């Protein structure tokens, strides 16, 4: 498949930083934001696969963890 000559950037779209696979339209995604990479220049912040982002929710969102404790999770 000749995608190389498609103008306007990477035709494959955004790549998931976790599994290094392209995020296809229609796939569930989670918008991640890392303090270490506020602008997404390091490729961390931005859309991830929903399942790939799940293990990181607690790490980057302490509030979420507190909430879960409060609800006995
Ligand atoms: Zn992924």
Residue 24 Cα to ligand 1 midpoint, Å, equals 10
Residue 39 Cα to ligand 1 midpoint, Å, equals 19
The average pLDDT across 13-35 equals: 89
Which pLDDT score, from 0 to 100, does residue 57 have?
Answer: 76
Which pLDDT score, from 0 to 100, does residue 5 have?
Answer: 47
d(CA 28, CA 6): 25
> Tokens at residue 18, please?
């976790």
Residue 42 Cα to ligand 1 midpoint, Å, equals 16
In a domain, 63, yes or no: yes
**pLDDT of 50 strictly over 90:** yes
Question: Domain range holding 43?
Answer: 29-70
The average pLDDT across 9-28 equals: 82
Residue 70 Cα to ligand 1 midpoint, Å, equals 30
* 3-class DSSP assignment, residue 4: coil
In a domain, 24, yes or no: no
In a domain, 39, yes or no: yes
Q: What contacts 58, CB < 8 A, 6 or more positions away?
A: 64, 65
Mean pLDDT of the chain: 76
**pLDDT of 9 strictly over 80:** no
pTM for the whole thing? 0.62
Q: How confident is the model at residue 10 (pLDDT cuts 50, 70, 90)?
A: low
Helix (H) or strand (E) holding 31: strand 29-32
What is the Rg, in whole angstroms, of the alpha carbon atoms belonging to the chain? Answer: 15
Residue 15 Cα to ligand 1 midpoint, Å, equals 8
């Amino acid at each position: 498949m000749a995608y190389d000559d498609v103008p306007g950037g990477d035709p494959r779209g955004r790549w998931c930083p976790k599994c290094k696979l392209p995020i296809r339209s229609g796939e569930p995604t989670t918008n991640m934001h890392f303090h270490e990479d506020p602008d997404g220049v390091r490729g961390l912040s931005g859309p991830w696969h929903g399942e790939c982002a799940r293990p990181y929710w607690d790490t980057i969102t302490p509030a979420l963890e507190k909430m879960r404790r409060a609800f006995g999770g």
